[in-house]
């Protein structure tokens, strides 16, 4: 399940992931929010937290994640990923350099720092 993170600037989106994130979560929540935000701003900031109760993604969610990034490759000004999930941290460190905007990886105890960085 994806829940919006409130109180972000107008050019930013944020979601916290809980339990297993599904393709339906992406199709019903995340993708429409990104598309709507990109109608108003040429570049957006994105805050994504995978908290203590996050258990993973289904295959459809992983595919939708790749599709949204490929569809809008130059539309990301900043991206903060907040997680303690080790395989995600390793993947982000390995592939974060190809992210076209500013990218930072944070641990869950650093959520406020990630939030503040997106809001700068």
Q: Which pTM value belongs to this model?
A: 0.92
Q: How confident is the prediction along the chain (120 residues), in pLDDT tens digits per residue?
A: 999 999 999 999 999 999 999 999 999 999 999 999 999 999 999 999 998 999 998 888 877 777 777 677 788 899 999 999 999 999 888 877 777 789 999 999 999 999 999 999
| Paired tokens of 54 | 């996050």
CATH number at residue 48: 3.30.750.24
DSSP type of residue 11: T
Confidence at residue 70, expressed as pLDDT on a 0 to 100 scale:
67
Full residue range of the structural domain in which residue 35 is found = 2-119
Half-sphere exposure of 89 (CA within 13 A, CB side): 10
In degrees and rounded to multiples of 5, residue 15 shows phi and psi of -140, 145
Q: β-strands 2-4, 12-21: how paired?
A: antiparallel
Q: How many CB atoms are located within 10 Å of the residue 22 CB?
A: 17
Question: How many domains, in total, are found in the chain?
Answer: 1
């Amino acid at each position: 399940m994806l829940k919006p993170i409130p109180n972000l600037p107008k050019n930013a989106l944020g979601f916290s992931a809980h339990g297993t994130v599904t393709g339906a979560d992406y199709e019903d929540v995340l993708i429409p929010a990104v598309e709507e935000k990109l109608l108003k701003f040429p570049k957006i900031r994105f805050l994504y937290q995978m908290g203590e109760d996050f258990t993973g993604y289904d295959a459809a969610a992983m595919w939708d994640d790749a599709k949204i990034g490929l569809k809008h490759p130059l539309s990301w000004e900043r991206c903060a990923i907040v997680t303690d999930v080790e395989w995600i941290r390793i993947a982000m460190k390995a592939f974060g350099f190809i992210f076209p905007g500013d990218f930072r990886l944070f641990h869950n105890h650093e959520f406020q720092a990630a939030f503040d960085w997106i809001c700068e």
